[in-house]
């Protein structure tokens, strides 16, 4: 797979996971902010959607279930959806800013003739064989809202946002390529990790001294640890349905739950079927077998029953993997520094949305919560809790050919924060206001 000279490796994904007004009385409503919550637990439902006008226009909640809605008509009917919940329709004029919209969880009875005779792993393979008929085959253009941040002990170390345009090849293309443009951007953060700062400064001084001795020109910036992990073309390239023949590799092990060659190392089982809008979804869970002593994955797939299309795929590091993630030679290095870690949570999530009778990637999200601690007898003890999140939402899809609105090409050799344009405040606020709106 090549991306204009950039060739991402899928094993990077696991490494990356370590190191996110009032109602008007006129015809149009300027803006409303509500929260979508679980009717039973009253907890927010992350990334739920509010759709209208035939599903071609809508809004995506953030990780706190909050939705900012704009450019609504008072007569609009909003349908609130989330996988695993019964959809609910409300008239816009009956919604008041600050309201909570409650969704009831759902469980459906599926056609036993379709599901029962087929093992869960066989059903996944059936869905994989249906990719060619379910996903958009031709080149198409997309608009995206991109966000990436890293927190250390609840303080932002790095925070970047951008609005992007892209042209990408269709799902049936033998070679993937992505042409990106940057429309607008914003960055903030102190750009400095506190954890093991003294040790890292010592190492930088050693590297500078070595470079000077060898007649090389170098500055301390050349050895600073990059705080950005994801990048837009990398996120698109991770789409497992776009690259179904490629495998995820960690420590030289194939861990891909979509690769039939590894299915003997996984347990697959059906969950309770659920509804999503007017669709019924088959739920398939997976986890590595306990006897498999290497890093593997665990997660869930939601598959549309009538077409066998993947609607959502999410996974993370299996609980059984923690003792097998770090290679033996790295464990010695961790012991020298007195480092210990606890992987609290990891998540990789792909959501798909309809496009001209087919499906295409609607959003990618990476998240990790890792606790690191350094404890040695004759050194200063340190501890840090790191939270990393990166997401890219598809806000618009267009048929090809397409003309870019921005002339600023994305440079694959640079961090995205280094090439964000100086976006005027009024333009940025206008874009930011509708950052979680899709068309």
| DSSP 8-class letter at 110 | -
H/E segment holding residue 318: none
The residue among 73, 75, 78 whose CA lies nearest residue 34 is 78
Q: Give Cα 30 distance to the centre of its chain.
A: 29
C-alpha 247/C-alpha 258 separation (Å) is 8
How confident is the model over 306-336, as pLDDT tens digits? 999 999 999 988 888 776 665 554 455 555 5
User: Average pLDDT for residues 47-55, to the nearest whole number?
Assistant: 83
**Average pLDDT of every residue of the chain:** 79
Domain segments of the chain as ranges: 12-17+110-191+227-438, 28-103
Fold of the domain built from segment(s) 28-103: Immunoglobulin-like (2.60.40)
pLDDT given for residue 346 in this prediction = 84
Instruction: Please choose, from the candidates 149, 114, 110, 163, the residue with its C-alpha nearest in 3D space to the C-alpha of residue 272.
Output: 110
Total number of residues shown for the chain? 439
Going from the C-alpha of 265 to that of each of 86, 287, 292, 297, the distances in angstroms are: 34, 9, 6, 10
What pLDDT does residue 197 have?
A: 56
Mean pLDDT of 63-88: 87
pLDDT at 361 (0 to 100): 94
**pLDDT range class, residue 226, cuts 50, 70, 90:** low
Distance CA 104, CA 38 (A): 6
Q: How confident is the model at residue 381 (pLDDT cuts 50, 70, 90)?
A: low
Q: Which residue has the higher pLDDT, 425 or 220?
A: 425
Residue 147 pLDDT level (bands cut at 50, 70, 90): very high
Identify the helix (H) or strand (E) that includes residue 149.
strand 140-152
Of 390, 268, 287, 373, residue with least CA distance to 13 = 390
352 pLDDT band (50/70/90 cuts)?
very high
Query: Across 246-307, where does the E strand assignment appear?
Result: 249-250, 253-254, 266-270, 274-276, 279-288, 297-304
Closest CA to 363 of 179, 131, 147: 147
Query: Global pTM?
Result: 0.80
For the residues 95-108, what does the mean pLDDT come to? 82
Residues 15-44: what's their mean pLDDT?
Answer: 58
Q: Which residue has the higher pLDDT, 200 or 152?
A: 152
What are 357-378's pLDDT values in tens digits? Answer: 999 999 999 988 776 666 554 4
Q: Which residue from 262, 265, 264 is spatially nearest to 288, judged by alpha carbons? A: 265
Return the closest-CA partner of residue 15 out of 176, 252, 212. 252
């Amino acid at each position: 797979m090549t991306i204009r000279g950039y060739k991402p490796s899928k094993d990077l994904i696991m490494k990356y996971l370590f190191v996110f007004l009032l109602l008007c009385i006129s015809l149009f409503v300027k803006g409303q902010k509500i929260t979508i919550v679980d009717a039973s637990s009253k907890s927010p439902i992350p990334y739920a959607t509010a759709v209208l006008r035939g599903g071609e226009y809508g809004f995506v909640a953030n990780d706190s279930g909050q939705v900012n809605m704009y450019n609504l008509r008072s007569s609009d009917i909003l349908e609130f959806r989330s996988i695993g919940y019964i959809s609910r329709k409300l008239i816009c004029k009956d919604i008041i800013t600050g309201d909570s919209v409650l969704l009831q969880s759902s469980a459906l009875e599926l056609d036993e003739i379709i599901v029962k005779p087929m093992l869960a792993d066989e059903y996944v393979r059936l869905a994989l064989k249906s990719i060619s008929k379910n996903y958009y085959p031709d080149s198409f253009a997309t608009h995206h809202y991109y966000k990436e941040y890293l927190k250390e002990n609840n303080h932002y170390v790095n925070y970047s946002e951008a609005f992007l345009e892209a042209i990408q090849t269709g799902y049936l293309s033998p070679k993937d390529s992505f042409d990106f443009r940057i429309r607008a951007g914003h960055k903030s953060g102190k750009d400095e990790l506190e954890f093991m700062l003294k040790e890292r400064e010592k190492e930088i001084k050693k590297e500078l001294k070595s470079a000077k001795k060898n007649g090389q020109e170098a500055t301390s910036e050349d050895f600073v640890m990059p705080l950005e992990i994801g990048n837009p073309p990398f996120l698109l390239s991770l789409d497992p349905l776009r690259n179904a023949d490629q495998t995820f590799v960690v420590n030289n092990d194939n861990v891909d739950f979509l690769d039939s060659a590894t299915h003997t190392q996984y347990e697959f089982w059906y969950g309770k079927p659920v509804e999503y809008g007017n669709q019924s979804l088959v739920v398939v869970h997976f986890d590595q077998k306990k006897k498999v002593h290497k890093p593997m994955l665990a997660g869930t797939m939601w598959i549309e029953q009538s077409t066998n299309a993947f609607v959502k795929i999410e996974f993370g590091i299996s609980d059984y993997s923690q003792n097998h993630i770090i290679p033996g030679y790295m464990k010695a290095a961790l012991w020298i520094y007195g480092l210990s870690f606890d992987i609290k949570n990891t998540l990789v999530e792909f959501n798909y949305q309809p496009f001209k009778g087919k499906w295409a990637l609607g959003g990618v999200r990476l998240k990790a919560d890792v606790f690191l601690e350094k404890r040695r007898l004759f050194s200063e003890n340190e501890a840090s809790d790191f939270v990393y999140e990166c997401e890219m939402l598809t806000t618009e899809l267009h048929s090809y050919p397409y003309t870019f609105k921005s002339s600023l090409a994305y440079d694959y050799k640079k961090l995205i924060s280094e090439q964000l344009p100086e976006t005027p405040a009024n333009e940025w606020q206008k874009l930011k206001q509708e950052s979680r709106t899709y068309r």
